[in-house]
Structure 1
Amino acid sequence: MRQIVLDTETTGLDPAQGHRVVELACVEMENRILTGRHLHLYLNPDRDSDPEALAVHGLTTEFLSGHPRFEEVAQQLVEYVKGAEVIIHNAAFDVKFLNAELTRIGLPAFHTMCGKITDSLLHARELHPGKRNSLDALCERYGISNAHRTLHGALLDSELLADVWLAMTRGQDALLMDFEDDGGTGANGMRLEQFDASVLKVVLADEAALQAHSEYLADLDKAAGKPCVWRGVQEA
C-alpha cells in the first residue's frame, strides 16, 4: 500500500483571490514504512505573499523568484501521486489550491490523479472529539518532537504529519510490529506458529444473552424495514 503525506504553503488563504502555492512537499510511505523518496518543490507564484502568510512560512518573493513555476513541475506531481492514497491535514484547503493550480494549466482535478484523499484532521477529530487537533497539538499528544518547527514548512510539516498518522492509526499494527521485532515470538517466548487455539476456553451465550440478541435483531429489522443481514448469517 503506497501512501503520500502532502502539505502546501501558499501566498494567502483563497485561490479565488489569485493566491498561489509557493511550496509543495510529499512524503512517501510503503506499507506504513517511510521510504525517504520525498518530493519537495518551491514554486514561483509571480506575486507577493500576504503579510500574514509570509509570517507563517517565511518564503520571500525574492527567494521564490529563482524557482520554477507550477506548470514547469506539474507533471512531477502527477507522476508522484498516481494511484496512491494522499493524506493531508485539513485536505479541503490544500486540494482547493492544487485544483486551482491544475485548472490554470488545463489539467484535471487533483482527486482524479490519486487513488484516494484522506483528511487526517477529520480522522483526528473522530478520535479526539472536542480536543485541539492541530498538527502541533497532535505532535504533543503522541509524543512527537516538533521543537525544531519555528516556521511552517511544507516538508517539515509533511514529515511530522507522517509520524502523527502512523501513531494515530497504529491499532493492531503495534502488535504486528512487536512480533516482527522479536522474531515472531510472543511475550512468553512462544513462536506464533506454535500457538494452539484449541486450548482456549469456549464460552457459549446463555438464554438471557440469546434473547437480548434476538430483540436487538428485531429492532434492526424494524429500522431497516426488512430482515437484517444477521438473519441470513444465522440461517446459513
Structure 2
Amino acid sequence: MHARTDKELSNDLSKREYTVFDLETTGFLPEIGHEILSIGAVRMNGSGEIIDEMHQLIKPIRPVPKHILSLTNLSKDSLTQAPSFIEGFHQFLDFSEHSTLVAHPAHFDVRFLRAMVKRWKLPGYNPACIDSQLMAKLAVPSVSHRLDPLLNHFNIHRLERHHALNDALMTAELFKELLRIINNNHHIFTYTELQQQLKKQKSS
C-alpha cells in the first residue's frame, strides 16, 4: 500500500492535498459481509480548489438487496460489469496518493475500507484521514452534524444524494467551509492541532 502516513505529509493544513470521498455500500457492517458498491472521490488542495474527481463502481460478490439498488439508483447490469473490489480499490489508492483522506463520517468509510482490505487479504491500510463530521461538531456546534442539515446551513448546492461522487462533491464544499471556520475562529492551522481538537470532540 502506498498511502502516505501523517509523518510524510505537510503539517500545514493549507499545504496538504485532500481526497474527499464517499462509499455506497450494501449495509453498515462489513464484518458480516456487507460490500462496497461504488467509490466517489474528489481531489482538492488546501485552498479548497478541486483538482480532479473519480467515480468507480465495484462488482459485489453477493446479490444486492432491491432497496439498496433503489436508494443508490444503481442497476444490476452496471454492477455486474464493474471491476472487482481489488481493481477499484487500487484505482482509489492511485487517485488518493500523497493526500489526506476526508469523509463524513470517516469512522464509517475508513473502517469499511479497512475491513474490505482485510477481507481480500491485502496489505494493511492505515491512511492519514480527517473526519469532517467531527470538524462540524467543533466548528458549528449548534447545527446537526449529519450531512443534509450542514448542506442546508452553508447553502451548499444540492446534488442527488446516495451517489458516491455527488456526496463526495458536496462533502468537499462542506470541508472547505469547515476549514475556513477552523482557521478563522479557532486559529487551527496544522494537522496535528486539528487532530488533537477532533479527538476531544470524539470523546465529548
TM-score with structure 1 length normalisation? Answer: 0.65
The equivalent residue for 2:131 is: 119
1:103 pairs with 2:118: yes
Q: 8 Å contact 1:11–1:48 — kept in the other structure?
A: no
The aligned amino acid for 2:175 is W
Q: Residue 173 of structure 1: CA displacement? A: 6.8
Q: 8 Å contact 2:21–2:168 — kept in the other structure?
A: yes
TM alignment of 1:1-236, pairs within 5 A = 1-111=16-126, 114=127, 116-129=128-141, 131-146=143-158, 148-149=159-160, 151-171=161-181
Q: Residue 72 of structure 1: CA displacement? A: 2.1
SS in 1 for 2:27: coil
| Whole-angstrom distance in 1 between the partners of 2:115 and 2:183 | 37
Query: Could you report, residue by residue, the CA deviation over 1:56-82 in whole angstroms, capped at 9, with x for unpaired residues?
Result: 312233321011111123322222222
Identical aligned pairs, as a percentage? Answer: 28
Check 1:122–1:52 CA distance in 2 against 1; reply closer, same or farther (3 A cut): farther
Q: Residue 46 of structure 1: CA displacement? A: 2.1
Give structure 2 stretches of 5+ with no counterpart.
1-15, 185-204
Q: 8 Å contact 1:12–1:50 — kept in the other structure?
A: no
The aligned amino acid for 2:137 is R
| Whole-angstrom distance in 2 between the partners of 1:164 and 1:55 | 26
| Whole-angstrom distance in 2 between the partners of 1:47 and 1:7 | 21
| Whole-angstrom distance in 1 between the partners of 2:141 and 2:107 | 19
Check 1:122–1:58 CA distance in 2 against 1; reply closer, same or farther (3 A cut): same
Check 1:6–1:33 CA distance in 2 against 1; reply closer, same or farther (3 A cut): same
SS in 2 for 1:9: strand
Q: 8 Å contact 1:49–1:60 — kept in the other structure?
A: no
* Structure 1 stretch displaced more, 48-57 or 38-47: 48-57
Query: Greater CA radius of gyration, 1 or 2?
Result: 1
| Whole-angstrom distance in 1 between the partners of 2:138 and 2:67 | 30
TM-score with structure 2 length normalisation? Answer: 0.74
Return structure 1 stretches of 4+ with deviation > 6 angstroms: none
Using CA pairs below 8 Å that are at least 6 residues apart, which structure has the higher relative contact order?
Answer: 2
SS in 1 for 2:37: strand
The aligned amino acid for 1:22 is L
Q: Residue 24 of structure 1: CA displacement? A: 0.3
Q: Residue 53 of structure 1: CA displacement? A: 3.0
Q: 8 Å contact 2:57–2:88 — kept in the other structure?
A: no
Count of residue correspondences: 169
SS in 2 for 1:74: helix
Query: Could you report, residue by residue, the CA deviation over 1:103-128 in whole angstroms, capped at 9, with x for unpaired residues?
Result: 133223432xx3x2100011111223
Q: 8 Å contact 2:39–2:165 — kept in the other structure?
A: yes
Q: Residue 100 of structure 1: CA displacement? A: 2.0
